[in-house]
Structure 1
């Protein structure tokens, strides 16, 4: 009788434990998708703006398309990568401050980030002003370089919109209020399609029409987010412009530089893959096939970036709350969720292989090349389900400088040299380059996995508290309370 009672108690405890674990996973998953869902949707819309712009320019002329593709791939991506990377410091600061209930600091961090990004954007302006001679020095054709130079000058107002677009998104995201960003992204995409049609097809403004459409559509989410923040959407975290934003900027600059280096080293990695492919035998077919694969990979990366944002917000919030176990648990749930989606997409792309290419081309040679590259595309998609999440964990915890060194070693000392050897020396062509670069990504994923697994989360909580206390300033309410007490 006693044994039966003991067995029943053990079974009941086990069931209760499973129920508690299931409930914890459900609660964490809801918090995860509140950030990841809108973030994924927003990234799809933003990516759509770029695709639509290129499609409309493709109907204007081949020189215009070549100039646009060149300046956006080389100069524009380089500069926006720096801006986005430096803005991601805000994810660490705002996420941890929000978790620690230092709500007033989010607005101050936002304003400090504006100052840092505006200064950096001014420094980057010569790249846009001298785009044509820079591209000529890189060996590009004169007519395409001249067109790229003209387009680059029209991109200058657009590059300044990203100062506010990136930072406002991260500020709202840290508070899990990014559903408003998703709504605004849909409006932006719809208006961009309409304006592009109006200015290119009806008014025949050509490239100027596309640039005006991009600028106006980029301003829409900024106006929407500013309106939402200033008119009651963030009463606790936005207390207006503050003189405190001009103080203690150096720590923000250092973290922003680390964040910029971390992200840029990742973004430029894929660009180098395309540049190396341009020197292959039968380069036209190789580049066409690779561009289709990278296009598919780019759409899938929007999902991965959504989970990167979710991992960053959840980890930073829990560290700010001094909840070490919560931070660790959020990492496990986020990685597991993203990995399940990645496995599903891996199976789909392995099954369909080259058939997917017919969405983009009717050329049987290109389609066959895509089919040949499909296993590598599938592996890239699978890695995308893990690596960006771990990068998001690093951003949430404030490890950007460490990850920058990891990226430099794994991508540029392992991936690219292996790609060159396999592609050129051994003769595997584009497959060899991609295999080498995939091995670099595998190395980076393994190192980040090890670092995450070995992390002492209690120590991370202490570091977050030290950072927040060091950089925090009294809120208006605290200052007024001190004055009244005195």
Structure 2
């Protein structure tokens, strides 16, 4: 009888354990479907929009080293500086809209969007002089005179893109919070194809050089913005968009505070790219050094767009579940998103290592730049892996409203530890661009230490 009883208990335990595993698989599959519903199109959107800059680099890179170096300075110093501010100012909408959807207050989304537009529009006006006076600013930062002059001219040509970003970031958060991400994806992919054709016509066929590339970028970005606005205004989101309202000008102070917290969090992270390019621009042979690092950063940021898709997904999932007061579902969303994004990081790391002698040829024909870039492949691969995890953790912070905490974490990782080590190795010990690339790996560990509890 005792043996029979033990056998029965063992069978019950095995059935219970098996049932738990089945439930966990079902729960994981259900959460993965929810995540991919947002992450899949968000990844395609991010990759398409970021590829606009990649396409511009590819066309200009074949004009010459000086042109590529000037474009790299604009993209990685001027535009990266601006991008962090604009994305951060628009990210407050991500927190509020996601939690409003979770709480069933969809009618507030249109008001939140308009408040965000007011804030990002004013921010764009304040930042415009940076584009206008880019050349003297770069010279003041001890950048090469020839590169600074050409970069200054190009930066004034792309001012329309600054105001496109002011509209684009808030409306993206508005669509993401409601799961309307495929609309953004289709618009962005069409704009990318159009951008490639425009560059081919203006830069290659007509020979307008950097001016032609700037015109192509301006048209492509405003095509994205106007298409999204038309979709919204013409009644495809009747519950969340009921038209323009004077209510958007109310309670702006609280909205600005959250926007500033988001901007500080993101700027402290994104500006380290700016700092790296400035440091590299002060090394020997700055054109070669800037070109090599900018190629690595372009690829690094392109793969980062994959992680940003999961960033958007986990931010929406976190804010929705918190708005609905489901803390356990919130934690599980974090685990699924981090695991999936890390697997993609491993895939891209292997791809970089396998093509380390060939990927620089996509951007330049200069043997010395190709060789210098190939030497950075191992450091680039390590950075790409770490950056597959860190943005997802930032999505957790945005969804939970932890922007202020993340700002302090970023200060420690990037500026107290990462950049000083990179500068020391790069200048005192003559490791050059390899040292400055290596410090990215230190910064990439920035992120919340645990998922939210409530």
**TM-score between both structures, scaled by the size of structure 2:** 0.91
CA distance change for structure 1 residues 39 and 286 in 2, over 3 Å: closer, same or farther? Answer: same
Matched, 1:214 2:200: no
Q: What is the match of residue 85 of structure 1?
A: 88
CA distance change for structure 1 residues 154 and 383 in 2, over 3 Å: closer, same or farther? Answer: same
Deviates more, 1:414-423 or 1:137-146: 137-146
Q: 1:341: Cα distance to partner?
A: 1.8
Q: What is the match of residue 23 of structure 1?
A: 26
Contact 1:136 1:145 in 2 (8 A): yes
Q: 1:27: Cα distance to partner?
A: 0.9
User: Which of 335, 355, 363 is 1:332 aligned to?
Assistant: 335
Q: What is the match of residue 391 of structure 2?
A: 388
Residues in 1 aligned to 2:358 and 2:222: alpha-carbon distance in whole angstroms? 39
Q: 1:153: Cα distance to partner?
A: 2.8
Q: What is the match of residue 158 of structure 1?
A: 161
Residues in 2 aligned to 1:427 and 1:153: alpha-carbon distance in whole angstroms? 35
Correspondence list, 1:51-450, <5 A = 51-58=54-61, 65-140=68-143, 144-201=147-204, 205-281=208-284, 286-360=289-363, 366=369, 369-442=372-445, 444-445=446-447, 448=448, 450=449
Question: How many residues end up aligned between the 2 structures?
Answer: 451
Contact 1:308 1:390 in 2 (8 A): yes
Residues in 1 aligned to 2:110 and 2:157: alpha-carbon distance in whole angstroms? 31
Contact 1:422 1:432 in 2 (8 A): yes
Q: 1:435: Cα distance to partner?
A: 3.1
Q: 1:217: Cα distance to partner?
A: 1.6
Give 3-state SS (helix, strand or coil) of 1:385's partner: coil
Residues in 2 aligned to 1:62 and 1:374: alpha-carbon distance in whole angstroms? 20
Q: 1:103: Cα distance to partner?
A: 0.3
Contact 2:315 2:398 in 1 (8 A): yes
Residues in 1 aligned to 2:64 and 2:227: alpha-carbon distance in whole angstroms? 34
Q: 1:336: Cα distance to partner?
A: 0.9
Q: Which runs of 5+ in 1 are unaligned?
A: 459-486
Residues 311-360 of structure 1 deviation map (CA, whole Å, 9 limit, x = unaligned): 11111111111111111110011011111222233344345544544555
CA distance change for structure 1 residues 362 and 409 in 2, over 3 Å: closer, same or farther? Answer: same
Q: What is the match of residue 484 of structure 1?
A: none
CA distance change for structure 1 residues 8 and 34 in 2, over 3 Å: closer, same or farther? Answer: same
Greater relative CO, 1 or 2 (CA 8 Å, sep 6+): 2
Q: 1:380: Cα distance to partner?
A: 0.7
CA distance change for structure 1 residues 376 and 55 in 2, over 3 Å: closer, same or farther? Answer: closer
Give 3-state SS (helix, strand or coil) of 2:444's partner: helix
Q: 1:106: Cα distance to partner?
A: 1.0
Deviates more, 1:60-69 or 1:3-12: 60-69
Residues in 1 aligned to 2:166 and 2:298: alpha-carbon distance in whole angstroms? 26
Residues 95-148 of structure 1 deviation map (CA, whole Å, 9 limit, x = unaligned): 111111110111111000001111111111221222233234334455554443
Residues in 1 aligned to 2:200 and 2:373: alpha-carbon distance in whole angstroms? 32
Residues 245-271 of structure 1 deviation map (CA, whole Å, 9 limit, x = unaligned): 110011110111111111111111122
CA distance change for structure 1 residues 255 and 64 in 2, over 3 Å: closer, same or farther? Answer: same
CA distance change for structure 1 residues 391 and 201 in 2, over 3 Å: closer, same or farther? Answer: same
Q: 1:59: Cα distance to partner?
A: 5.6
CA distance change for structure 1 residues 438 and 327 in 2, over 3 Å: closer, same or farther? Answer: same
Deviates more, 1:431-440 or 1:151-160: 431-440
Contact 2:80 2:274 in 1 (8 A): no
Residues in 2 aligned to 1:283 and 1:31: alpha-carbon distance in whole angstroms? 47
Q: 1:218: Cα distance to partner?
A: 1.4
Q: Which runs of 5+ in 2 are unaligned?
A: none
Give 3-state SS (helix, strand or coil) of 2:178's partner: coil
Residues in 1 aligned to 2:87 and 2:124: alpha-carbon distance in whole angstroms? 11
Residues in 1 aligned to 2:136 and 2:282: alpha-carbon distance in whole angstroms? 22
Residues in 1 aligned to 2:153 and 2:289: alpha-carbon distance in whole angstroms? 29
Contact 1:125 1:156 in 2 (8 A): yes
Root-mean-square deviation (CA, aligned residues, Å) is 2.5
CA distance change for structure 1 residues 426 and 197 in 2, over 3 Å: closer, same or farther? Answer: closer
Give 3-state SS (helix, strand or coil) of 1:88's partner: helix
Residues in 2 aligned to 1:149 and 1:83: alpha-carbon distance in whole angstroms? 20
